[in-house]
Chains A and B, each alone.
Chain A
Amino acid sequence: MNPLEGALTAELLIAALACIVAALSPASMRRYLAGVATLAMAASGIVAGGFALSGHTGTLSAPTALPAVDLTLAPDRLGGVFIVIASAVTLLAALYAIGYVHGSADSRSAWLAFIIFTLGLQMVPAAGDVITFLLAWELMALGSGVLVLTDHRTRPQARSAALWYAVMTQLSFLLLLAGFAVLATATGSTTFDALVTVSPTSTTGALAFILLTLGFATKAGLVPLHIWLPRAHPEAPSHASAVMSAAMVKMGVYGTLLVVLRFMPGGPAWWGIVLLVLGGISAVYGILQASVTSDVKRLLAYSTTENIGLIFLAIGASVLLAAYGITAASQAALLAALLLAISHAAFKCSLFLGAGAIVHATGERNLDRLGGLGVRMPWTAAAFGVAALGAAALPVTSGFVAEWTLFQSFIHGATRDAIPLAVALPVAVAVVALTAGLALVTFVKLYGIGFLARPRSTGADDAHEVSHPMRWAALIGAAAVIALGVFPGPIAQVLASAVGIGDVATIGFGGLSLPSLGVLLDPMALAITALVCALPVVVVSALSARRHPRRATELPWGCGGVRVSPRMQYTATSYAEPLMRVFDDTLRPEQDVVVTHATESRYLVAQVRYRQKLSDVIEVRGYRPLLAFADRLGVVSRRLQNGSLHRYLTYSFVALIVVLVVVSL
């Protein structure tokens, strides 16, 4: 047994042990015992992923009742990347859970669901054949579905969220099943190594690509299939939503990479266009919804749609560029997709854990009622702030490195010879730029309204810092955001080797260099230059501070007034109001203003009530009519079943005739 097989076996054994511990341990000890067991499972997952990533190969297989169908785990290097992502996120979430879970989230079923969910998550990228892949996929769906339902007693909306989630995830499964069936019938085998014989330009290849992409896009939460995401993520307990958002939707990305890199490499240009359009629309729509949302966890869920959209956009650009033979830019785009994926895992994990800490400490998840948490929860604020910088793609964070790589591939990709590229790439630059701009607003709003200013409710006023495991989990995530942002070179080299890109080098203080494009980025050198530039400013400030220390006062200027009530401050809703107006046609908010007049005169106003409701346009315009149609269809089809035995016998007879006719044809 080689190291990779050993680590995978250890992981499966520890997972089984963790399930037993979670089921048997007494309630008072459960979170420590089950938490530590999950930590151990995640740690062995990281080891296994590390071995796979460094090029070890190994196969674990188990026979099934069916002849010639074995369940195999055989991760390749790309799978290793995603095993490491899934395990690392699980590790942080489990650490956080030790300090966080209480009530229904600490129940036996919630822990079991969490372990099954995260095990499934780590097995998806390890799978070596279709059956194992789909089995792990369903374990992941099952565990996360139960987790969405955790708080169903106190939050009735969790039930509807779980229903939406279950339906959409089964839709995804069906599409994948169909897609894999197309590939398997064409090749006569279910192992991944055998599926590669399908030509990407054949009709079979095209059909499989469409089905699989739609299936993976549903799981990845891309528009218009994102509808479950803003419902399910906020309802699950925060450690589970962190794993769902930072790692689970990433499996959609892994699946798409499997299709375009492993099963059918060298896809035609239209594949690239499909992925590019799907990703671009998701990125802009996701961040636009996030920028006007006030619910912290819902905002983060929409931002996930944006980030996954960007990853798909990068994959699409890579396929498109490769189809036109522009290898260097295509490889840079692929590298950008992987960098975006790990960067998103790091910052979104930290953000969801931080959001959980906010909800835990204040009992509020509505940004309009938060504020002043920076002073009250300094550690959480630090972790959340760094992660928000990562999400806004500012230097020196991981998000910045990833978007920089993406821009470089766009700028060096376009040529005069390929008109589709000359149109697609500038549009892609504009889309990414608009997304980045809106992400900036979103995360300034999230941090500025939540952590700065004065508390807008008593819950926020009485907030206190959370327990140590919760703090540390969020802080480690934030440290990863900075580490990936400051030393991108070595990390990019590892990622590049996982997908067979050679042309990536480390330069300077751990900077990233792409020699074939002739570009380099050294965040550490950038930071040092900034520090050198800022040094005189700091010195002058310090000298001035010696003479005149800062004096705290009530509002220094305040337009001549004093701060009467925290309600006078800008809220998240008012912060997003200008954007809401600018993008009115896309967002279509429902707004009412009701003015009540004083009884003495209708020129005097007694009360003004303003109400604004924002619903997802795609849900209202796309899904509601579809659901209404399904309902009507149900009512109509009820006539078929009126209880008459004669009618049922007729149905069977007609069915028999039809079958006979079809068979005889």
Chain B
Amino acid sequence: MNWTATAVALFQVLVATLVAPLVIGITRQTRARLEGRAGAGILQPWRDLLKLLRKETLQANGVSWISSVGPIIVMASSLLVAALLPLISTITLPLVPDDLFVVVSVLLIGTVAVALIGLDAGSAFGGMGSSRHMMIAALVEPTVLVAVYALSIPAGSSLLSSIVATRLDAPAVILSPVSLLAVVALFVAVLAETGRLPVDNPSTHLELTMVHEAMILESSGRDLAWLELGSWLRLSALLGLVANLMIPWGLATDATVLALVIGTIALLVKLTVFAAALGAGEVFLAKLRLFRVPELLAGSFVLAFLAVTASYLVT
């Protein structure tokens, strides 16, 4: 057992958990300011979470264990992703490397748990959200895997940490057409996976247009707190991954305290910039019609596929 790697991974989880609500806070606040509203402040998601944890949890009659265990599974999946991804450092757990396929599968566990929670209460909206959510998840899958495949070719490895480390050593790779195409494709896939505009509108109040929100309509109290925190963590971790792929500098490559402090600060700066950019971008976007989403995803798949073929055929 490698204690340093374990400590680094746990530290990463801790930072990601603390930061995830702030990332959402920054996104919402940026959006509010650009739309001419005062906004609730970037600490509001944390206040919401603490409030939800103190409230009573209700559940519908006759639901199965999924409704009570599901939120914890969602959290476990997001926390595990935060532990595996190269967010602060490229140090990986020796027995649990951040293999791309493992990370995607762990994310999918969370996806499936939310989809089952949506079905469990037996309300029409839950089923609707679950059905749409799974359709999007199914269509995103090829883009994600092909995009990371493209990124893995220069590194000769499917470990995300080695991919990021390669980019840190040879920054020329970052601006190569192959890498740009793949990162753009991956970014679209991340937006779809985390339910952001233009795929899903996280701030909608109209049930008929909901995807993620529709599935958690029946959850309350701590269940809702975990579901919200889980999805925020997932967004922060994936944004952090995209950020580190585009701007790998600052990432710790060894386990000294100084490197970790620099890594943490770098992560915070990158996440702040990306969250603000995401919030600003969302001001100008409208949600796509559900049946236009496959076209968007097909487009991003084409980009990813071009990236792979280009890396073999164009030198």
Contacts and interface: CB of A to CB of B under 8 A. Distances in A.
Interface of A: 291, 371-372, 374-375, 381, 392-395, 400, 403-404, 407-408, 410-411, 414, 416, 419, 422-423, 426, 429-430, 432-434, 436-438, 440-441, 444-445, 447-449, 451-454, 507-509, 511, 518-522, 525-526, 529-534, 537-538, 540-541, 544-545, 548, 550-559, 563, 566, 568-570, 574-579, 581-582
A454 B96 contact: no
Contacts of B44: none
A521 B112 contact: no
Interface string B219-259: 01110001000000000000000000000000000000000
B95 A508 contact: yes
Contact of B149 (A429, A507, A556): A429
Contacts of A374: 64-66
Contact of B76 (A403, A518, A534): A534
Contacts of A416: 312, 315
A577 B135 CA distance: 10
Interface size grouping (class) on chain B = 35 or more
A544 B141 CA distance: 36
Contacts of B144: 433
B108 A533 contact: no
Nearest to A582: B294
B299 to A, nearest CB: 14
The residue among A410, A434, A453, A576 with the most chain B CB atoms within 10 A of its own CB is A453
Interface stretch (B50-58, B171-179, B263-271, B278-286): B50-58
A444 B116 contact: yes
A275 B308 CA distance: 23
B231 to A, nearest CB: 14
Contacts of A578: 131-132, 135, 290-291
B158 A569 contact: no
Contacts of A559: 123, 125, 207, 217
A551 B102 contact: no
A436 B131 contact: no
Contact of B142 (A395, A410, A437): A437
Nearest to A449: B119
A167 B238 CA distance: 52
A378 to B, nearest CB: 9
A554 B130 contact: no
Contacts of B132: 578
A554 B121 CA distance: 10
B249 to A, nearest CB: 26
B313 A556 contact: no
A452 B64 contact: yes
Interface string B139-154: 1111011100100110
A338 B157 CA distance: 24
Given A426-B146, A553-B58, A452 B207 contact: no
Contacts of B46: none
A556 B141 contact: no
B116 A541 contact: no
B72 A534 contact: yes
B121 A555 contact: yes
B105 interface: yes
A563 to B, nearest CB: 6
B305 A444 contact: no
Given A534-B79, A544-B53, A437 B59 contact: no
A463 B56 CA distance: 33
Given A426-B146, A444-B112, A537-B76, A550 B123 contact: no
B115 A444 contact: yes
